[in-house]
């Protein structure tokens, strides 16, 4: 007895497929929803990206597929300081730096009214000067 195999059917059932061009990375191909034709993905492969972020900066991620995204940030730091008041201004070099410690302004010892001489400046404050006043 001989058996005969009959080939029947017609195509692929795509009714449960949901992929669209926006779901598949180019240049990969796929069979999508309600379509028996092979389609090519439309998502751009951006590969590996590395970005250095400025202080208080942002990084906008463009649309697409990425193998990886690395965002680095390297900020100069200032460890803090202790400042002893004196007759000259003290500048702490903190511009564009992340301060990691406290800045301590020491008190002025013996800063009491009985130790302040009449007519002298203390901490930038002193006698009023103007019309009719002697210097």
CB of 50 within 8 A of CB of 70? Answer: yes
- State whether 66 and 82 are in the same domain: no
User: Is 65 within the bounds of a domain?
Assistant: yes
DSSP structural state of residue 32 = -
Q: How far apart are CA 1 and CA 5, in angstroms?
A: 13
Burial code (b: 16+ CB inside 10 Å, e: under 16) for 76-93 equals eebeeeeeeeeeeeeeee
User: Is 11 within the bounds of a domain?
Assistant: no
Domain of residue 102: give its range: 75-113
User: Is 82 within the bounds of a domain?
Assistant: yes
- State whether 87 and 44 are in the same domain: no
- State whether 30 and 58 are in the same domain: yes
Structurally, the chain folds into a number of domains equal to 2
Taking only the tens place, the pLDDT of each residue in 20-59 is: 899 999 999 988 876 778 899 999 999 999 999 988 899 9
Taking only the tens place, the pLDDT of each residue in 100-117 is: 999 999 988 777 888 888
pTM surpassing 0.75? no
Residue 20: CB atoms within 10 Å: 14
């Amino acid at each position: 007895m001989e058996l005969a195999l009959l080939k029947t059917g017609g195509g692929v059932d795509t009714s449960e497929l949901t992929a669209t061009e926006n779901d598949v990375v180019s240049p990969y191909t796929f069979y999508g929803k309600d379509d028996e034709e092979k389609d090519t993905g439309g998502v751009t492969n951006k590969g590996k990206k590395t970005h250095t972020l400025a202080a208080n900066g942002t990084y906008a991620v463009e649309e697409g597929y990425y193998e990886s995204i690395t965002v680095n940030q390297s900020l100069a730091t200032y460890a803090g300081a202790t400042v002893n008041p004196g007759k000259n201004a003290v500048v702490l070099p903190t511009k564009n730096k992340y301060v990691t410690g406290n800045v301590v302004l020491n008190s002025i010892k013996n800063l009491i009214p009985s130790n302040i001489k009449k007519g002298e400046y203390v901490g930038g404050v002193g006698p009023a000067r103007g019309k009719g006043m002697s210097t």
